[in-house]
Structure formats: structure tokens, C-alpha cells
Amino acid sequence: ITTWKGKQIHSHNYRTPELFRDQVVILIGSSSSATDISRDIAGVAKEVHISSRSVASETNEKKPCFNTTRLNAMINSGYDNMWLHSKIESVHEDGSVVFTDGSVVVADTILHCTGYKYHFPFLETNGIVTVDEDDNRVGPLFKHVFSPALAPSLSFVGVPSTTLPFPNFELQSKWIAGVLSNRIALPSQEEMMEDVKAFYSSLEASGKPKRQTHDIADYQEFGFWYTGLLCVHLFPCELGITKLPIGSLLPYKFHKEKIHHAASNGMRTLRRYKEGLFNSSTAQIYYRKFSAIGNAKADRPRDQECLV
């Protein structure tokens, strides 16, 4: 595709739809960036063609029906100048692009919405933490955050993909802050490494490629884990937990039923938070939502035995 004569840009450099006015544009990818940008430029572009490896090769309808919510939302977004295609098979000097579904489009611009690669040129750990450039895996990291061998000195925020990014990053940041302030204790180095190895084994057993190591869309347990860990320490009274020692190792392990229920509510709240239905901070959201658990009122004085 590097020999193609038209204009090519990455979604990272996208700023305004005006540059694509009256153009025929091909977007490669069907995740968040492609969804947002395709809708943004459809109002000014002549045609918008989306190439997705999630689309079967025999699909060549303008508005097919998919069993994937995201794909259906993209193609049924109200614009009549949008098409979904399978992967690109070949490109040619005359500007034409051939898809595996047999269709051909002569395009002005190809816009790559193909994600990002992890790159930490400033980080030197003597091989303790590595970035696999071929498979885009950073590791080993306990729950995608802490390096078992260098914790708590070295932690990462924002590694997971296909998640609610900013609420997730805030949860990770609060966890790191709790660890650094000695309010939350990490497992031992050996336990964290065992957890990482078990996670890698589960990926392999499920057939998920290494390049999707940090794609946690199918691993709601991480959302439960982050949320549960934090809400126990931030809102123990609301969860009916009054004897939690400071620095408790993994409260999720000892209060799984309560935390699973609270975290489930928390994840629904985060989704509403992303949709703009809440304007308050995540902590305030949690407090309002979890205060109902244990019949606690939001304005009730905290029990002196509860952690705050």
C-alpha cells in the first residue's frame, strides 16, 4: 500500500472534516476512531468507504446487517454515502483500490484507523519490561499496570485498549495512588508473575492473538477488579465492610460477592458517564451509586471504623 499514489494519513493526525470535502475516502478499520471519523466526514465527503477485517469477503451490500453492534451503528448512521467492505486485496497506480469482496473504488485518500503501537524510547529497564514490536505487547505487567519486578516504582496508565478509556485510566491512577500511599498493598512479586502467566495462558487457550493482549473488551473481569478494588477502599461503609485493614492485599478476593455486585453497578455507571449522563467526578458517581448498597445515605456521617 506504500506504492499507492493517493494521499494517506493516520487517524492520529485527523483534525477536521473539511479537508475531505467532495473526496472519495477509504477508512481502514472499524473501531472507535473509524466510527467517529467516518460519521464526521460523511457530511462533506463524496463517498466514505470503510474497510474492516470483521466483514466477510462475500459482503458487498451497501447496508448489510451485521451481528456486531459497532458495524451496524457505523453503516446505519443516517448517511447514504457510506459503504462497508471487507479487507483491501490490492491497490493500483491509477488510484483504484480492490477489496476482497470484489468491489473496486477509485479513492482520493486512504485514512488509516488502525490503532497504535506501544513505544517507550525513554524507558530503560535492562529487559525487565519489554515491548514486543511485532505483537504490540508490553510486559510482563500485573493487571496491565504494575511491573512485578519493579513495583511499585514502575507503573503504566493507559495500556489497555477497547475499553472506556478515561474512566479506566482514572481507576488505574487511583489504584497506583493507593499503592504509593500505602493504603493498598500489592501481592508479592511471585504472585503477580503467576497472575500474568495465568492471563497469558488464558489468552493462548482462547485462541486470542498476542497482539490483542491489552484488548480487554472481552475481559469484563478487569473492570470488576479495578472497580471492586477501589470501591472497597473508597466506600467500605456503603458496602457494609467495616473491618478492612489498611493495605489489605486483594479485597476483591475476600468480598467477591459484594464487590461483584457493586462493580457491576459501577460499570453501568461508567458507561452512563461516558455517554455524558453524569457530569460529576468518578468518585462522586461511585458514592451516589454505591451508597444504595447497605442502605447508606450520601450525606450520612462516616463510621469511624470505616476507611476513608
What does 228-270 look like in DSSP terms, one character per residue? HHHHHHH-TGGGT-----TT-S-HHHHSHHHHHHHHHHHHHHH
Q: What is the pTM of this model?
A: 0.65
Which conformational region is residue 182 in: left (phi greater than 0), alpha (psi within -120 to 50 degrees), or beta? left
Residue type, 74: M
Distances 171 to 81, 166, 180, 182, 227 between C-alpha atoms, Å: 40, 9, 14, 17, 7
Give me the pLDDT at residue 298, please: 33
Residue type, 284: Q
Give me the pLDDT at residue 300, please: 35
Q: Where are the beta strands (DSSP E) in 141-253?
A: none
Give me the pLDDT at residue 265, please: 54
Cell of 271: 458507561
Give me the pLDDT at residue 290, please: 39
List Cβ neighbours of 110 (8 Å cut-off, separation of 6 or more). Answer: 1, 4, 6, 7, 8, 25, 26, 27, 28, 97
List Cβ neighbours of 193 (8 Å cut-off, separation of 6 or more). Answer: 140, 142, 148
Per the document, the length of the chain is: 308
Cell of 173: 491512577
Whether the Cβ atoms of residue 5 and residue 28 lie closer than 8 Å to each other: no
Quick one: what percent of the chain has pLDDT higher than 70?
63
List Cβ neighbours of 277 (8 Å cut-off, separation of 6 or more). Answer: none
Give me the pLDDT at residue 161, please: 84
Find the helix or strand (DSSP H, E) in which 111 lies.
Answer: strand 109-112
Give me the pLDDT at residue 96, please: 94
Give me the pLDDT at residue 127, please: 94
The CA dihedral of 56, 204, 255, 157, to the nearest 10 degrees, is -80
Measuring CA to CA, which residue among 151, 199, 198, 159 is closest to residue 176? Answer: 151
Give me the pLDDT at residue 70, please: 57
List, run by run, the mean pLDDT of 10-residue segments along the chain (308 residues).
89 95 95 88 94 72 50 67 91 92 94 91 94 93 95 95 79 88 88 94 92 77 60 53 43 45 51 45 44 34 34
